[in-house]
Amino acid sequence: MARGSTSALQTVLAPLPAPAWGGLHAVIASIHPAVRDRGFNLCPVVPTGDLLERFSDLGVDAIGLDQSRIRRSLNPAHHWRFLNGLFRDPQALAALARAHQAKVFQLAGLQHVQGALASRQAGTALVWQIHSDILPAPARRILTPYARRASDVIMVNGPQVRQAFPGVARFDADRVVEFRAPINTARFTFDAESRASARQRLGIAADEIVIGTIGNQTHQKAHDRIVDLADDLPDREQTRFVILGGAVDSNRTYYRESVLDPARDRGLLDSRRLQIIDAGSRVADYLPAFDLFVMPSRAEGIPVALLEAMASGLPVVMTDVGSVREAVLDGENGFLVKAEPFERNRFARSVSQLVKDPDLRARMGRRSREIAQSRFSAETVAEAHVAAYWKALAHKAGQSEAPE
């Protein structure tokens, strides 16, 4: 049977428990058409509500199912829901797999053990993805051996993420597939009119320098470091800051205490020097206003938001986490700084250098777009996923090779 020539598509279920749109959702939306052309229907399973509508608007048939997940929270109710879900979710996911005749489960993050249990119950192949280095080392040591036993294929988001999980080295190398986040650069090609419109929407003058980021309001994205940056920059008068990202329930206390309260105390919100906007699906309406992109995250893989900024032709200042160095070439299209311990002074100096030098911004921005176009196409990422599905199906069936 030839790849992509099957009369009926083979269904891949991809459970995504997070209630807010993020990079994992964007990856599926980006590669869905190319994966479908190659014979697989990549079907996200998401909480009921806005996510279903957003996927539908993008031409992706998603399935609604509320799922539990591990949360960074001291609220015992969050942990109780997760423990309860360990019994409920696998049965519900396995029932979906049987109802949709799914052949493969695709899991995002080693913490998603419910999906692995569901795959076992439904008898499907299992592709387990490691997107970032966010998991603490003790959790990696506990969960990686289980993933090795349960998975038919393990996918890792670049070589740096692969190195952060040394247990993956003990998995059959032929069944480890590296992949990247994809970007459709055509969607992020902006002109002067787009820039003027975005700035008018934000109430920002043409001669002000906009330092922006994209990412949900979580501890991982480290927006507290952007609040500090607003204080640290010597060029305070001409800079404005924009954070595009939605609230996440389990991170509300962190965000209030570490981001909103300090920003309010320093007058950043009242003066509108810092704007925090839940842009939802309208990121492209605001992104043209940016002059440079910052992302001081505590952990990442290769974030889709970074690639969106690069495709828009923006220079980048970012922490050296996950596999980010595959996209941000230090000194070429931006600057990398250490995440832990965070190089706060170097972060501010790098941003200040770009603020002061429009020629440097332009040169690095052009290089960003070149890298996004050449390394992170949706077609290339789709090919990696399809290769992983065939390998997983072959291993599940006890074959030595996938079909040609």
307-317 pLDDT, tens digit each: 999 999 999 99
Return the number of other C-beta atoms located less than 10 Å from residue 187's C-beta.
13
Q: How much is the pLDDT for 69?
A: 74
What band does 86 get if pLDDT is binned at 50, 70 and 90? confident
Chain-centroid distance, C-alpha 246: 14
Amino acid occupying residue 365: G
Q: How much is the pLDDT for 5?
A: 41
Query: What are 276-302's pLDDT values in tens digits?
Result: 999 988 999 999 999 999 999 999 999
Residue 257 in tokens: 């205490």
Among 13, 28, 19, which Cα is nearest to 47's? 19
At residue 388, the 3 state secondary structure works out as helix
Residue 24 in tokens: 């994992």
Comparing 10-182+377-396 with 185-375, is the CATH topology the same?
yes
Q: Which CATH architecture has domain 10-182+377-396?
A: 3-Layer(aba) Sandwich (3.40)
Report the DSSP pairing between strands 125-130 and 153-156: parallel
Taking the C-alpha atoms of residue 146 and residue 81, their distance in angstroms, rounded to an integer, is 22
Q: In percent, how much of the chain has pLDDT > 90? A: 79
**Exposed, middle or buried by CB within 10 Å (0-12, 13-18, 19+), for 270?**
exposed
At residue 242, the 3 state secondary structure works out as strand
Q: How much is the pLDDT for 269?
A: 96
Taking the C-alpha atoms of residue 68 and residue 19, their distance in angstroms, rounded to an integer, is 10
Return the number of other C-beta atoms located less than 10 Å from residue 3's C-beta.
15
Q: How much is the pLDDT for 3?
A: 43
Taking the C-alpha atoms of residue 86 and residue 155, their distance in angstroms, rounded to an integer, is 23
| Average pLDDT score over the chain | 92
DSSP state of 193: H
Walk across the sheet containing 334-337 and list its strands.
Answer: 274-277, 239-244, 209-214, 292-295, 316-319, 334-337
| Cα angle, residue 203 at apex, residues 198 and 209 outer, rounded to 5° | 75
The answer to which of 33-37, 81-85, 272-276, 365-369 has the lowest mean pLDDT is: 81-85
Across-strand partners of 318?
Answer: 295, 336
| Model-wide pTM > 0.85 | no
Q: How much is the pLDDT for 1?
A: 34
Across-strand partners of 275?
Answer: 242
- Topology of domain 185-375 in CATH is Rossmann fold (3.40.50)
More confident call, 106 vs 169: 106
Hey, where are the domains in the chain?
A: 10-182+377-396, 185-375
